[in-house]
Amino acid sequence: MTDRSKSALQLELERPLIKEASLSYVFRKAAELKIDLRKEFINADTLQLNVIPRLKFCNILMSLPFGLSQSEVEEILESDLAFDNCGNVDYEKIIETDLFVELERKMII
């Protein structure tokens, strides 16, 4: 299969994993280490609203054993995330992305 016939998801999954300030890095590294991010997000959502306060989301990312710096977490917040009207992170949109779903599926198999 040539690169042209591969989907963006396939290309992302085949790309070497290099530390960067992006959700795709967080997803891929979590899958590699068998960390259940869905569970982390749901546990942080005590009101079951499918959103997590920005600070709580930052704390989740900072607590992961990836060595993300505060500035990298801020970059992820600014470039990769959707927020609700109150500034909370809408994690439902995160866990519905093709990359997240595929990596989660591979962890289960």
Looking at the domain assignment, is residue 3 inside a domain? no
> For the chain, how many structural domains are there in total?
1
The pTM of the full predicted model, rounded to 2 decimals, is 0.81
Looking at the domain assignment, is residue 38 inside a domain? yes
Instruction: Count CB atoms within 10 A of the CB of residue 89.
Output: 26
Domain residues for 79? 22-108
Looking at the domain assignment, is residue 71 inside a domain? yes
State the CATH number of the domain containing residue 41.
Answer: 1.10.238.10
Looking at the domain assignment, is residue 2 inside a domain? no
pLDDT one-digit tens code per residue, 15-52: 777 888 899 999 999 999 999 999 999 999 999 999 99
- Find the helix or strand (DSSP H, E) in which 102 lies: helix 98-108
Amino acid residing at 21: A
Give the phi and the psi of residue 89 in degrees, each rounded to 5. -80, 125
| CA angle (108 as vertex; 5, 27 as ends), nearest 5 | 60
Q: Give the C-alpha separation, 10 to 61, whole Å.
A: 25
Looking at the domain assignment, is residue 14 inside a domain? no
